[in-house]
Amino acid sequence: MKNFLIALSILLSAVSGITYSSVSVDTPPTVSTTVMIYGDSLSAGYGLPQKAGWANLLKKRLQTQSSVYQVINVSISGETTLGGRNRIEQTLKAHHPNIVIVELGINDGLRGLPIKSIHDNLEAIVEACQRNKAAILLVGMRLPPNYGTAYTQKFRDIYPQIAKRHKLKLVPFLLEGFGDKLEYFQADRMHPNERAQGKILKNVWKDLHKMLKSNQGIRNSVIK
């Protein structure tokens, strides 16, 4: 696990190219629920075939249940919480999501940026979503131990702190269950491979499914 996290530290921080990934299609007239994924390379499908990422798996799962669902992936490889904060208002106005899955922060942490800045940027993103009447599923990440016990723990605590304050659903760790298994990663030993995408979806789906069933922020949802 330690070797994986150190590799994650070196390689993920080096990903600076921008990869915009959208899995949306022409919106059918019946669409009434839009789920927007707002993340970095782990959600953008970095290094994967175009339709192999967990975002597309989510889209397929929802559309097999009902035509009312639309999944839009506006994740960008190398994205930081500041970048996410700067574009959130415009993105919300463009897509009018009912649910926003926020998966950001790891690139900030790997650069050793101030915990307060990461916290404040994530909170600003959450508050923007709430002002636009979108429900939020917050997704947490974890740092490698070589960043020091104090910093790594404070980073890890950001997500539950924000979730508790704003009463959000929380995925504690996106890579839970396979983060220490190299067979689920690409050659860079950092980005999840195609085999891992179903596991990521499983981690996200548990709470997303509850949000859909409870109609939190949703109009006319028929999830089963």
Q: Which residues are catalytic?
A: 41, 188, 191
d(CA 32, CA 169): 21
Q: Indicate the residue type of 32.
A: S
The burial class, CB within 10 Å (0-12 / 13-18 / 19+), for 142 is buried
Which residue bears the tokens 């939190």?
Answer: 216
Rg of the chain, C-alpha, whole Å: 16
d(CA 214, CA 122): 25
CA atoms within 13 A on the CB side of 177: 12
Q: Pick from 62, 127, 82: which is nearest to 73 by CA?
A: 62
